[in-house]
Amino acid sequence: MALTKTVAGIAAGTLLTASTAFAQTYPERQITMVVPFSAGGPTDTVGRLIAEKMSADLGQQIIVENVGGAGGTLGAGNVAAAEADGYTILLHHIGMATSATLYRNLAYNPLEAFDYVGLVTEVPMTIVARKDLEPADFASLVTYVKENADTITMANAGIGAASHLCGMLFMQALEAPIVTVPYKGTGPAMTELLGGQIDIMCDQTTNTTEQIKGGTIKAYAVTSPARLDIFPDLPTVSEGGFPGLEVSVWHGLYAPKGTPAEVTARLSQSLQTALADPEIAAKLGELGTAPSPAADATPDALKAKLEAEIARWKPIIETAGVYAD
C-alpha cells in the first residue's frame, strides 16, 4: 500500500512537473479559437477582436475557425473532443447554456466538457426587419406579426442560438408561431435580410449596429433593460410591453476539459489584458456594449455564470416544450 502510494506520488509529481514545464513554455505555436457560428456574424466579431489582442499578448497567433451549424453545438462539440493542450479554445455565448436543455441528445455535457477561461462581454439584441417591412414602430410590428404570422419569416442561427432564443420568446409573447429559417450564423442571415429574402430577425448589436445606423434595415426595439446610448430613439422591449423579451448575450471563453490549470490561467490573464485594451472598449462601445470587467474574465466567474444560466433557462425552455430533437 505504502509502496503503491509512493509510486503514485512520484507519478503525480512527475506529471505536475511536466505540466508546469509545459505551462511555462506555453504557447509555443498557433492557437485555434473556434467560433461556433459563421464568419462575419456577431460572435465572430467579438472572437476576432479578442483573438487579435490576445495574440499580441501571448506572442503567438490565435486564428479563428468558424464552425457554424446546429445553433453552435457543432463547434462546441468539436472543442469538447479536441486535445486539452491549450491550442484549441472556444468562444461561445449564451447558447452554451440554452443548448444544455434544448438538445436532449447532445454529444457533450456543457457543464462537464470544458474548462473555463473567463467571461468576455455581454451584448444586447435588437429586433430588426428588412428595410421595407410595413410597420413603422414596435407596437405596429406586434400587430403586424400577429396578423401575418403564417407568412412572415424570421431568421435565426439554429436551435440554441441567441437569435433562436429571442425569437422563441418573441413568438411566445405574441402568441404567434412564425416560420423560422435557420442559418449557420446571423452573418449570412443578415445578408438575406438586406436582400429582402427574410422579414425579421433578433440579433446582437455587434451585427446590427452598422446596418441600423446606415438605414439598410429597420430596427424596432432593444432587448436591454435600458435604452442604449448608440440608439437613444429605440425603445426597450419592456417599454413596448414585453419585459419577458429582455435578453443579454453573454460570451465566454472555454478550453477542453483537462487543459492544464496553468494554461487556462495564462489564457485568462491574456483575456484580461485584451479586455483592458482601450481599443477593445472603444470598438465594443461603438457596437452598444463593453468588455467584461477583469474580475469576470476568470474561470470561476464563467463557471458560475454558466451554472446559473443553465438553471435559469431550463424551466423556461421546458415550459415552452421546444426541443432540437
Q: Are strands 114-130 and 217-222 parallel, antiparallel or unpaired?
A: antiparallel
Helix ranges (H only) for the chain are 2-25, 42-58, 73-80, 95-102, 138-147, 162-174, 186-194, 205-214, 261-275, 278-286, 299-320
Residues 204 and 125: beta-carbon distance below 8 Å = yes
* Contact flag: residue 186 with ligand ASP (CB under 6 A): yes
Cell of 279: 481599443
Question: Which of 47, 86 has the CB closer to ligand ASP?
Answer: 47
- Region 264-323 residues binding ligand ASP, contact defined as CB under 6 A: none
**Smallest distance from the beta carbon of 206 to ligand ASP, in angstroms?**
8
Distance of closest approach, residue 128 Cβ to ligand ASP, in angstroms: 12
Contacts of 10 (CB under 8 A, 6+ apart): none
Angle at the Cα of 185 (from 119 to 40), degrees rounded to 5?
80
169 makes contact with ligand ASP (CB under 6 A)? no
Longest dimension (CA), the chain: 79
Q: Which one of 23, 26, 31, 43 is in contact with ligand ASP (CB under 6 A)?
A: 43
Between 237 and 263, whose beta carbon lies closer to ligand ASP? 237
Check binding of 192 to ligand ASP (CB under 6 A).
Answer: no
By beta-carbon proximity to ligand ASP, the closer residue of 191 and 273 is: 191
157 interacts with ligand ASP by CB under 6 A = yes
Which three-class secondary structure state does DSSP give residue 241?
Answer: coil
**Cell 492557437 belongs to which residue?**
31
Q: How far is the CB of 169 from ligand ASP (least distance, A)?
A: 13
Whole-angstrom distance between the N-terminal and C-terminal Cα of the chain? 50
Q: Which residues, numbered 203-222, are part of the site for ligand ASP (CB under 6 A)?
A: 203-204
Please identify, using beta-carbon distances, which residue of 182 and 235 lies nearer to ligand ASP: 182
**Which residues between 90 and 129 bind ligand ASP (CB under 6 A)?**
95
User: Could you list the residues that contact ligand ASP (CB under 6 A)?
Assistant: 37-38, 41-44, 95, 156-157, 161-163, 185-187, 203-204
